[in-house]
Amino acid sequence: MAKILLVEDNEMNRDMLGRRLEKRGYQVAIAADGPTGLALARSGSPDLILMDMSLPGIDGWEASRQLKADPATAAIPIIALTAHAMAEDREKALAAGCNEYETKPVELTSLLAKIELLLPKKPGA
């Protein structure tokens, strides 16, 4: 079962997305701010991270940069979640090292496709 770390400060979005992912068979870990997200990413060895960009404490861009700069966590794919639909935000997220980008409101089918695409492939694929 794939482990997904969801870093999101908005309680409703966190609850909703977490439950919907669990319903589809993912194991979901939750963090409500940047520092907790970083700690869980390092200790919980998730297979993939969903990272909100506007987080309190350490924002999503900075958290992604730190994770991608650390050899221990650099390989974990990160999907950036942001409410900004501007192209510059997408570029900013990719520049911070995020592997993908999803605009809020999250379109679940699209997000699931991206998750499946980024989850580490089984050997031989």
Residues that bind other proteins (CB under 8 A): 10, 12-13, 16-17, 19-20, 23, 54, 83-87, 90-91, 94, 99-101, 104-106, 108, 113, 116-118, 121, 125
Work out how close the CB of 59 gets to other proteins at its nearest, in angstroms, rounded to a whole number.
13
Nearest alpha carbon to residue 87 among 71, 76, 98, 103: 103
Work out how close the CB of 51 gets to other proteins at its nearest, in angstroms, rounded to a whole number.
15
Work out how close the CB of 52 gets to other proteins at its nearest, in angstroms, rounded to a whole number.
10
The smaller minimum CB distance to other proteins, of residues 39 and 113, is found at 113
For residue 55, give the DSSP letter: -
Tokens found for residue 4: 């997904």
For residue 119, give the DSSP letter: S
| Buried-exposed string 63-72: b where 16+ CB fall within 10 A, e elsewhere | bbbbbbeeee
The smaller minimum CB distance to other proteins, of residues 42 and 84, is found at 84
Work out how close the CB of 16 gets to other proteins at its nearest, in angstroms, rounded to a whole number.
4
Euclidean distance between CA atoms 33 and 36, whole angstroms: 6
The smaller minimum CB distance to other proteins, of residues 59 and 100, is found at 100
Residues paired with residue 81 on neighbouring β-strands, in sequence order: 52, 102
The smaller minimum CB distance to other proteins, of residues 1 and 121, is found at 121
